[in-house]
Amino acid sequence: MNKEEKNSNKCPICGRPTHKESKCCIFHASSEEKTEEEFKNALKEYIQEIKAENKDYNFERFIFVGDINFKKDLDVATYRNANFGEVTFEGYADFSGSTFQKCVGFIRATFKEGASFIGSTFEEEAFFRNVTFKKMASFMVATFGGYADFAKATFKGDALFNEANFEVEAYFGHATFKRRALFNEATFEREEAYFGRATFEEDANFRAKSFVKDVIFKEISVLPGKKLNLKVENNKGTTSFKRAFLKNVYLDIDSDKDVLIDFTDALLMDTKIKKDQIENHILQEKKNEFSEAQQVYLLLKNNFHSIGKYNEESWAFKKEKDMERKDNCHFKTLHKWLWSCFLNGIFGYGEQPGKVIVTAFLIILLFSFLFMTSGISNVGIEQITSNNFFDCIYFSTITFTTLGYGDFRPLEGVGRILAGSEAFIGAFMMALFVYTFARRTGGR
């Protein structure tokens, strides 16, 4: 047999003997070229060889047929109805470019030296529940065609899911990320991305290419001083931080205009977040749940106060009062609604000194027309009654400011009542302006 004939009997990928009529070995041959039983028997022998020689686990570009369950002692069994045990990969586990055509289970497995699933394809369910990755775990460019379950998984090294594609639901509930969690350019195509009660001990980056439906960060915990970077595009769903623990965290949210954000009962304290990134995105406000929206803006107000962002605090407080007013827009609470409208109109609940100035000008103008009707007199040698607009607006101004130069005075009767009323209102408005101006410029 010549050299070319010998090479033709070896797999071009790994150099193993070819399988039957296939050009590749049994591990790299297509599913049509091997049976499930043949593949699993060969896989068992290969795993035993790895254990005996204490080598790394090289499953690169393997084509796994049938349901696969890596159970105790690295045995291989049908996934469904299998008893899972603690599986330990002592060496580096390389599944790069591999294809799992049916369900695959790594439940309670431990990867001691890291694991690579770069470019792998999971055509059906992939179960990594309770898995521990003691070093880096890379799922970059991997495709999950079925349900991806990483519940209670622990990533002690970097968790890399850059450019991964989740075609159905991605579930990371209760997962722990002790190092960086990177989902840059990942795609979540159809169902929700669930990270509820996950813990992020280092920076987390979710600048995904697409979140088609809801993104759930319910009850997550981010360690103080860390950053959660979230980009949500092509999404008309909800990003939920319900009951999340966000203390001294940098929260960077970049969302499409249709994305709604839920901060219900979240712990926000010393959390650095930009008003522009959440404005017009609050879920409860968009759904007209004004009482709940009021509580959310209260949380945001207190958080902005804790980090010294007083302009943002002012915005959140104003929104809080707006939600309270809208919530009282009912017959039974009409008096509260009217009072709230009045307070908002004259000084913006103490947040808008400009409104005080505008209101003062309107009051002066109103009394000017009233004095034109009742008339004022020029105090001189010859008292002359004037209804001139400019005289009346001058008199209204000095009456409002309580200067009282004495060159004009109101006529007896209605004029005196108007003058006394305007002087009282003017004193009140000037005090209100000082309060509002000091509140907005002197800190909280």
What does the block give as tokens for 61?
């570009």
Task: Give the count of alpha carbons within 13 A of 196, CB side only.
Answer: 10
Asked if residue 22 has pLDDT above 80, the reply is yes
pLDDT of 83 above 70: no
Average pLDDT over residues 45-61: 90
Confidence of residue 189 (pLDDT cuts 50, 70, 90): confident
Q: For position 73, what pLDDT does the model report?
A: 43
Q: Is a pLDDT exceeding 90 seen at residue 2?
A: no
Residue with tokens 């009062």: 321
Element of type H or E holding 161: none
Q: What is the pLDDT of residue 4?
A: 43
Q: What percent of the chain has pLDDT over 90?
A: 67
How high is the pLDDT of residue 366? Answer: 96
| Averaged pLDDT score across all residues of the chain | 89
The tokens 């968790």 sit on which residue?
159
Average pLDDT of the residues in 164-172: 93
Give the Cα separation of 369 and 346 in Å (integer). 20
pLDDT grade, residue 442 (50/70/90)? Answer: low
Above 60 in pLDDT, residue 443? no
Lowest mean pLDDT among 213-222, 226-235, 318-327: 226-235
Report residue 436 CA to chain centroid gap: 33
d(CA 209, CA 234): 8
Q: What's the confidence (pLDDT) of residue 255? A: 83
Q: Is 75 helix (H, G, I), strand (E, B) or coil?
A: coil
d(CA 179, CA 205): 11
Place of tokens 């980090």: 307
- The pLDDT of residue 24 is 94
CB 11 within 8 A of CB 18: yes
Residue 355 has pLDDT above 50, yes or no: yes
pLDDT at 383: 66
What pLDDT, on the 0 to 100 scale, is given for residue 35? 92
- Percent of residues, the chain, with pLDDT higher than 70: 92
Q: What is the mean pLDDT of residues 235-254?
A: 89
Would the pLDDT of 1 be above 70?
A: no
What CA–CA distances, in Å, run from 306 to 24, 236, 266, 274? 64, 31, 15, 14
Q: pLDDT confidence of 6, banded at 50, 70, 90?
A: very low
Does residue 191 carry a pLDDT above 90?
A: no
Look at residue 79 and tell me whether its pLDDT is greater than 70.
no
Instruction: Give CA angle at 332 (326, 338), nearest 5°.
Output: 50
Greatest Cα pair distance in the chain: 137
pLDDT of the residue at 5: 46
pLDDT at 7: 52
The four Cα atoms 341, 343, 348, 351 give a dihedral, to 10 degrees, of -150
Question: What mean pLDDT comes out for the span 31-39?
Answer: 92
Question: Cβ(117)–Cβ(60) under 8 Å?
Answer: no
